[in-house]
Amino acid sequence: MTDVMSTQGQFPGAAGESERTRRLRSLGLNDPSADEAFDRFAHLAASITRAPIAMVNFINDERQMFRGLYIPPNSPEVVADEGASWADRGIAFDLPTRQMPLSHGFCPHVVAQRSPLALDDILAYPRFAGNPVVDELGVRAYLGAPLVDDTKTVIGTVCVLDREPRQWGRERLRDIQHLAEALLSEIRLRDNLLAQQQEMFAAFDGSPFPIMLTDGPGQEIRYANAQHAETFGAPAAYGAIGVGYPQLGAAGLQQAVAEAYHTGRATVLNDVRIQSGREGQRGQQIFSFTCTPMRTARTGQINGVLTVGMDVTAQSRTEEELGTLAALLVDRLQQSGTVAGRPGIGGDSGLVLPG
């Protein structure tokens, strides 16, 4: 899912974001959820540099997000095996979530300086010795390289850590730089998918029906077409439906979207009464909404929900008619070759986005 906005303009709040955060949003990398491809890459980084901890770290304006993470297993049986390799023996490293404040660690320095950073013994560098990760996580050595995409934006880092001092040397520094360059192929793939999705959203903007896309379990708004903006206005703020559109949230739309996301089945919400936000109109409008789960083409995992609204103020529409409309939209996208259908859970069909 991307952060492509309506042709009517960007949502409030976007103007204050850095180019890095906007890029992460557009690439679908602006959250700390695990990504199998990046986890594998982190494991590769640990193997090549022979470091016990490795991360693919994306950094927005508020936090660091470890989409790729490798920490070897720390089972008592393996640790007790003196013949086990460094990658199997594991270490005690308490990282409860895949995110961290910008004040912690050394990746923000790499991003700010746009250059690699090698710290053989962090305690030997007064500038870094007081960093919270030294005391809280016991980090003593760090090696990281910036991820610079094709727009010349530094979106994060590839880094490795150790709880013991390390002499990284030129070879390891060169390795981590090569790894960062190699990872850009994955970023380019996402950029290509983004271009395809922009074409899809351009088609959505010509639709006479309000269309909205939400992303992830938090149902954060990622896109609304021109008709949606005209009908309901711009969202009050970035975030979930209930935050961006209090009226829709209070009417139960956020719950309907969440149900579609968690069950993998399309949901329908009828008789939603909204105070008209259109210029020159007063009174209530009555809407029905169909919420269809979307799945990634590679894994089939649900990653968002497509919501289509229909104004039924002047006439009665059945759930079947609204479901048919949503199905026609999906079919149109499938015929264009931009997306591919995949059977949904329980016999329903989801919308599949490449990515």
Kindly state whether residues 181 and 40 are assigned to the same domain.
yes
Kindly state whether residues 215 and 174 are assigned to the same domain.
no
Q: What is the pLDDT of residue 302?
A: 85
Kindly state whether residues 210 and 302 are assigned to the same domain.
yes
Instruction: Report the alpha-carbon distance of residue 28 to residue 216 in Å, rounded.
Output: 10
**Six-digit token string for 64:** 């660091």
pLDDT in tens, the chain (355 residues): 333 333 333 333 445 788 999 889 888 888 888 888 899 999 999 999 999 999 999 999 999 999 999 988 753 433 344 444 434 444 456 677 899 999 999 999 999 999 999 999 999 999 999 999 999 889 999 999 999 998 999 999 999 999 999 999 999 999 999 999 999 888 888 787 777 777 777 778 888 899 998 887 888 888 888 888 888 887 766 678 888 888 899 999 999 999 999 999 999 999 888 876 555 555 678 899 999 998 876 667 888 899 999 988 866 555 556 666 676 766 655 454 443 333 332 334 444 444 4
Kindly state whether residues 140 and 218 are assigned to the same domain.
no
321 lies in which domain range?
A: 206-353
Kindly state whether residues 304 and 335 are assigned to the same domain.
yes
Q: What is the pLDDT of residue 226?
A: 87
In a domain, 199, yes or no: no
Kindly state whether residues 291 and 342 are assigned to the same domain.
yes
CATH number at residue 220: 3.30.450.20
Q: Which residues contact 259 (CB under 8 A, 6 or more apart)?
A: 265, 267, 291
Q: What is the pLDDT of residue 344?
A: 31
Kindly state whether residues 281 and 346 are assigned to the same domain.
yes
Of 143, 162, 192, the residue at which a domain comes to its end is 192
In a domain, 1, yes or no: no
Q: What is the pLDDT of residue 25?
A: 85
Q: What is the pLDDT of residue 258?
A: 93
Kindly state whether residues 163 and 210 are assigned to the same domain.
no
Q: Which residues contact 302 (CB under 8 A, 6 or more apart)?
A: 261, 264, 293, 294, 295, 350
Q: What is the pLDDT of residue 277?
A: 56
CATH number at residue 180: 3.30.450.40
Q: What is the pLDDT of residue 321?
A: 64
**Alpha helices of the chain — where are they, by DSSP H?**
19-26, 36-49, 76-80, 86-89, 107-113, 126-129, 132-137, 169-205, 226-232, 241-244, 246-250, 253-263, 319-336
Of 192, 226, 248, the residue at which a domain comes to its end is 192
pTM score: 0.57
Of 192, 221, 246, the residue at which a domain comes to its end is 192
In a domain, 118, yes or no: yes
Q: What is the pLDDT of residue 332?
A: 58
In a domain, 52, yes or no: yes
Kindly state whether residues 215 and 315 are assigned to the same domain.
yes
Instruction: Report the alpha-carbon distance of residue 281 to residue 317 in Å, rounded.
Output: 22
In a domain, 115, yes or no: yes
In a domain, 198, yes or no: no
In a domain, 297, yes or no: yes
In a domain, 2, yes or no: no
**Count of structural domains within the chain:** 2
In Å, how far from its chain's centre is CA 140? 30
For the range 275-278, what are the long-range contacts, defined as Cβ-Cβ under 8 Å and sequence gap of 24 or more?
A: 275/247, 277/231, 277/232, 277/233, 278/230, 278/231
Question: Which one-letter amino acid corresponds to residue 290?
Answer: T
Q: What is the pLDDT of residue 257?
A: 94
DSSP string, 32-56: ----HHHHHHHHHHHHHHT-SEEEE
Kindly state whether residues 90 and 222 are assigned to the same domain.
no
